Chain A
Amino acid sequence: EAGVTQSPTHLIKTRGQQATLRCSPISGHTSVYWYQQALGLGLQFLLWYDEGEERNRGNFPPRFSGRQFPNYSSELNVNALELEDSALYLCASSPTGTGSTGELFFGEGSRLTVL
């Protein structure tokens, strides 16, 4: 069974540009979570999508946005990139509904570098 896949693995952008990161959850999982991890720091919760809807977002400005598609894959968009957006962006998926054990399954991340 394929795990959570993220693309691209690495992305280099310049200040002011836009970045788009993609995530494919494990088959059957309907929830997708996005986290930002700056170098040497912990995971900061960004966004949670379930069944195509944004369910919750962390303390990030509106230029961080995303969406979840009908096949439950997800996209994270970061507009007007700033130097401090350089980080590892992690996607996780989780099944929902009764019987779910609630654990998150993470991808290996997309490393965004803003120059």
Chain B
Amino acid sequence: DAKTTQPTSMDCAEGRAANLPCNHSTISGNEYVYWYRQIHSQGPQYIIHGLKNNETNEMASLIITEDRKSSTLILPHATLRDTAVYYCIVRGNTGGFKTIFGAGTRLFVKA
């Protein structure tokens, strides 16, 4: 049921930017892109979301392509504590919708 495609795993050197891609070619006009991460055995944590404009907060930046068929989550200066599974999700933003998580990308940040 997941409508996103992400690489299974990625490596990143500590202090460097981590760029996590996500394909969502079937996204519809009213669907947002959300990113969450899950550090081992903890509950997932919301990171950021966007509709069509690029977004930035204290945790990350989200770059969405003009056609909205793909996006990239950027962690500007990855630390060891950023090692986690990162989930890219698309869903509507009006009221509540069931949120389907895919397999996500396992990011390993290495010293």
Is A75 among interface residues, defined by CB-CB distance under 8 A? no
**In the complex, number of A-B residue pairs with CB atoms less than 8 Å apart:** 69
Say yes or no: A104 contacts B42, CB within 8 Å. Answer: no
B50: min CB distance to chain A, Å: 11
Say yes or no: A35 contacts B101, CB within 8 Å. Answer: yes
Say yes or no: A42 contacts B102, CB within 8 Å. Answer: yes
Interface residues on A, range: 20 to 34
How far apart are the CA atoms of A92 and B91 in the complex, in Å?
15
Is B96 among interface residues, defined by CB-CB distance under 8 A? yes
Name B42's closest neighbour in chain A (CB-CB). A108
Name B96's closest neighbour in chain A (CB-CB). A31
Is A43 among interface residues, defined by CB-CB distance under 8 A? yes
How far apart are the CA atoms of A56 and B97 in the complex, in Å?
9
How far apart are the CA atoms of A42 and B100 in the complex, in Å?
10
Per-residue CB contact flags for chain A residues 39-57 toward chain B (1 = under 8 Å, else 0) read 0001101001010000110
Say yes or no: B101 contacts A42, CB within 8 Å. Answer: yes
A72: min CB distance to chain B, Å: 12
* B contacts with A, residue count (CB < 8 A): 26
How far apart are the CA atoms of A50 and B99 in the complex, in Å?
14
Say yes or no: A101 contacts B43, CB within 8 Å. Answer: no
Chain B contacts with A in 16-72, Cβ cutoff 8 A: 32, 34, 36, 41-46, 49
A-chain residues with CB within 8 Å of residue B102 when the two chains form the complex: 42
A90-B44, A109-B43 known; A104 vs B99 contact (CB < 8 Å):
yes
Say yes or no: B98 contacts A33, CB within 8 Å. Answer: yes
How far apart are the CA atoms of A4 and B44 in the complex, in Å?
12
Say yes or no: B103 contacts A105, CB within 8 Å. Answer: no
Say yes or no: B44 contacts A102, CB within 8 Å. Answer: no
How far apart are the CA atoms of A31 and B91 in the complex, in Å?
15
Say yes or no: B104 contacts A45, CB within 8 Å. Answer: no
A110: min CB distance to chain B, Å: 11
> What 3 A-B pairs come out closest when comparing CB atoms?
A106-B43, A31-B96, A43-B101
A-B contact pairs, 8 of them (CB 8 A): A45-B1, A45-B99, A48-B96, A92-B43, A94-B96, A97-B95, A103-B34, A109-B42
